[in-house]
A and B are shown apart, each in its own frame.
Chain A
Amino acid sequence: MTPVPSSLFPYLLRLADDRLVLGHRLSEWCGHGPILEEDIALANVSLDLIGEATLLLKRAGEVEGRGRNEDALAYFRDSADYRNALMVELPKGDFGFTIVRQLFFSLFSLLQMDALTKSSDADLAGIAAKAVKESRYHVRHSAEWVVTLGDGTEESHARTQRAVDELWRYTGELFMADAIDREMSDAGLGVNPETLAERWNAEVGKTLERATLTIPKVGYMQRGGREGKHTEHLGHMLAEMQIVARSHPGASW
């Protein structure tokens, strides 16, 4: 058997953490959705993302080979050990902010997972094939809402445009590649995110145009999450997410 490259573990953490953190952020809408159908929809998307993260963390734990399972990796790592992009950890904001972020991330995720269905890691390829089916629903859901809100009332347009303006500077990080990405791509295990940018920009551009929204001019793209340098928001979120598991280690119900 060929040895597993050491960068597969941190690569899997990046994939898993994006979905775990965003899934948790979305779960904060449960009971707070603007209408019942959306409350249910956001909880569904959250469940899909947390499910995908669970499978990816399980695989990460196997690859690491130090006996950590998905729960150990989710509940017993601090924010500096998380490898998600900064965009997904930002507070949920208003419904417009959440929906614009869902469009940006779901489109990225769909393209990324579609490419990963060809991974030479059979588990990762299988997880990706499931995630593709789920992400297609997430893209449709968020794209329809962005158009409804953007091309809606004065108020909904203004709020959605503000969300695009605030989030745009966090989109660059999704497509930045480093040594880990390139090694994974060269080994046939992963995908270089730079290769996904063109299609993503085209689809986002199409949707925003239909929504009468504009892409802001941003000179600097935020980055740092892939190396564990996070905003203050992640620590607060993890404190809430991890408190029960850390207060009662090994508890079951």
Chain B
Amino acid sequence: MVKRAIPSREELFSILDAVMDPEVPVLSVVELGIVREAVATDDGGTVVTVTPTYSGCPAMREIETEIKRALEDQGLGPVTIRTTYSPAWTTDWIAPEARAKLEAYGIAPPGVVEAGELIQLTRRAATVRCPYCKSVLTEQKSEFGSTACKSIWFCRECRQPFEQFKAI
């Protein structure tokens, strides 16, 4: 392993920006806002603070392994991962460029998180654009999709089912 100068926060984030989310491989763990902080330590290692997207996200363990590997490959081990729950992860942290990547990949990006009433007994009507044909003649089939972070939709224009990243 090469010995190197202590990297800046920007350098660490740019290394981590190459670690893709295993379930949405078009976005990195930095773009998703899972990586909250990265600090180089005096002993040449790194401390990375992450926050889970959903409480039960099964990809978190793999994400931590990939983060460690990416930094160790650059000679920045040992890597310590810390988990924080506060502030709770929100899709509002996903930047516009990342949202465009999601749509190009075939997943409708999340809308803005609305505070609203704590208790809502029915779903609110929302307009979601089909990522394939861009029509807004779409309907939600279920608030729960193939992963915790997605809901199932159907486009009445191009007759294709698609998924949306849920605003949370």
Contact = CB atoms under 8 A, between A and B. Distances in A.
Interface of A: 37-38, 40-41, 43-45, 47-52, 54-55, 107, 110-111, 114, 122-123, 125-127, 129-134, 136-137, 139-141, 143-144, 199, 203, 206-207
Interface in B51-72: 52, 54-58
A8 B120 CA distance: 31
B23 interface: no
Given A140-B123, A207-B121, A129 B56 contact: no
Interface of B: 52, 54-58, 84-89, 118-123, 141-146, 148, 152, 166, 168
Contacts of B144: 37, 40-41, 43-45, 137, 141
Contacts of A123: 85
Interface-central residue, B88, B122, B143, B144, by most chain A CB under 10 Å: B144
Contacts of A52: 55-56
B88 A130 contact: yes
Contacts of B120: 136, 139-140
A199 B117 CA distance: 13
A194 B148 CA distance: 32
11 contacts: A37-B141, A37-B142, A44-B145, A48-B148, A54-B56, A110-B119, A127-B55, A141-B143, A143-B121, A144-B123, A203-B119
Interface-centre pick from B84, B121, B141 (highest chain A CB count, 10 A) = B121
Those 6 A-B pairs whose CB atoms lie nearest each other, nearest first: A51-B56, A126-B85, A51-B55, A126-B86, A41-B144, A44-B144
B54 A48 contact: yes
Nearest to A136: B120
Given A126-B86, A141-B143, 13 more contacts: A40-B152, A47-B148, A51-B56, A54-B56, A110-B119, A111-B119, A133-B88, A133-B168, A140-B143, A143-B122, A144-B121, A144-B122, A207-B121
A143 B143 CA distance: 13
Contacts of B143: 41, 137, 140-141
A112 B119 CA distance: 12
A48 to B, nearest CB: 5
Nearest to A44: B144
Contacts of A130: 52, 54-55, 85, 88-89
